[in-house]
Amino acid sequence: MKRFLLSVWFFFLGFVLVAQVPDGYYDAAAGLKGKALKAALYNIIKGQKSYPYTSTGSTDVWDILKKTDQDTTNPDNVILFYTGRSVNAAQEYNSGKGWSREHVWAKSRGDFGTQPPAGTDVNNLRPADISVNSTRNNRWFDTCSVMVYDNGVATGSYKSDTRWVWQPRKEVMGDAARMIFYMATRYEGENGEPDLQIINYLPEDKRSKKPLFAMLHTLLKWN
**CB within 8 Å of 111: residues ≥ 6 apart:** 194, 209, 211
Strand locations in the chain (E)? 70-71, 74-79, 86-88, 99-103, 125-129, 140-141, 146-150, 153-159, 165-167, 197-198, 212-213
Q: What is the pLDDT of residue 4?
A: 55
Rounded CA gap, 103 and 182, in Å?
A: 13
167-197: per-residue pLDDT in tens? Answer: 999 999 999 999 999 999 999 999 999 999 9
7 band by pLDDT with thresholds 50, 70 and 90 = low
11 — pLDDT class (breaks 50, 70, 90):
low
The two most distant CA atoms of the chain are separated, in Å, by: 51
Distance, in Å, from the CA atom of 200 to the CA atom of 214, rounded to the nearest integer, reads 6
pLDDT score for 12: 53
Model pTM score: 0.91
Which residue in 196, 174, 223 sits closest to 3, CA to CA? 223
Helices then strands, counting H and E runs in the chain, come out as 6, 11
pLDDT-based confidence at residue 21 (cuts at 50, 70, 90): confident
Identity at 46, one-letter amino acid code:
K
Residue pair 195/188 in contact by the 8 Å Cβ criterion: yes
Which residue type sits at 79? I
pLDDT in tens, 58-112: 999 999 999 999 999 999 999 999 999 999 999 999 999 999 999 999 999 999 9
Please tell me the predicted confidence (pLDDT) of residue 197.
98
Average pLDDT value for residue range 132-150: 97
